[in-house]
């Protein structure tokens, strides 16, 4: 059986935001076993699974992404929406537009220290749309 729902994450500041609880609030009861696939419908934000306890990890992500993809470089030709525009697209490609999680005993089968993150790469972001597909 396949179930699908689309929902929005309210606009967030630039950075990495734990959204596990928000995702679960949007879903009906999870099946005994299956998969949850999440897809973000944007090209300047991403989804990830990672550390959900120590906030310094999120600061290190932000710092590392900004060192890998530098804003304001003269070689960017796509800058319609400001100096963070093209870098946000590149960061989204690096991080990815979807994650897949196992469902076991009606719960997400995440590791002890894992959570679902919205990776927001824009300085002035809007709400982000996510499509959740449950396969059981």
Average pLDDT, the chain: 96
Count how many residues are written for the chain.
136
CA 133 – CA 25 distance, rounded (Å) = 14
Per residue in 71-115, pLDDT tens? 989 999 998 888 999 999 999 999 999 999 999 999 999 999 999
Looking at residue 16, what is its pLDDT?
Answer: 96
Show the tokens assigned to 80. 């319609």
Stretch 105-127: mean pLDDT: 96
**Long-range contacts of the stretch 63-69 (C-beta < 8 A, 24+):** 65/91, 65/94, 65/95, 65/121, 68/94, 69/94
pLDDT for 80 equals 83
Domain count, the chain: 1
Percent of the chain residues topping a pLDDT of 90: 93
Q: Which domain holds residue 45?
A: 2-135
Predicted confidence at residue 27, as pLDDT, reads 96
CATH number, domain containing residue 101: 2.60.120.460
For the entire predicted model, the pTM comes to 0.95
Residue 56 reports pLDDT greater than 90? yes
């Amino acid at each position: 059986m396949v179930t699908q729902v689309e929902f929005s994450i309210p606009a967030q500041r630039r950075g990495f935001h734990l959204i596990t609880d928000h995702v679960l609030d949007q879903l009906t009861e999870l099946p005994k076993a299956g998969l949850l696939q999440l897809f973000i419908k944007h090209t300047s934000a991403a989804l990830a699974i990672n550390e959900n306890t120590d906030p310094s990890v999120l600061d290190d992500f932000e710092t590392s992404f900004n060192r890998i993809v530098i804003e304001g470089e003269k070689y960017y030709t796509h800058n319609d929406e400001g100096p963070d525009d093209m870098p946000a697209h590149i960061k989204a490609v690096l991080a990815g537009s979807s994650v897949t999680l196992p469902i076991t005993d009606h719960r997400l089968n995440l590791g002890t220290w894992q959570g679902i993150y919205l990776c927001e790469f824009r300085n002035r972001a809007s709400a982000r749309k996510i499509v959740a597909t449950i396969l059981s």
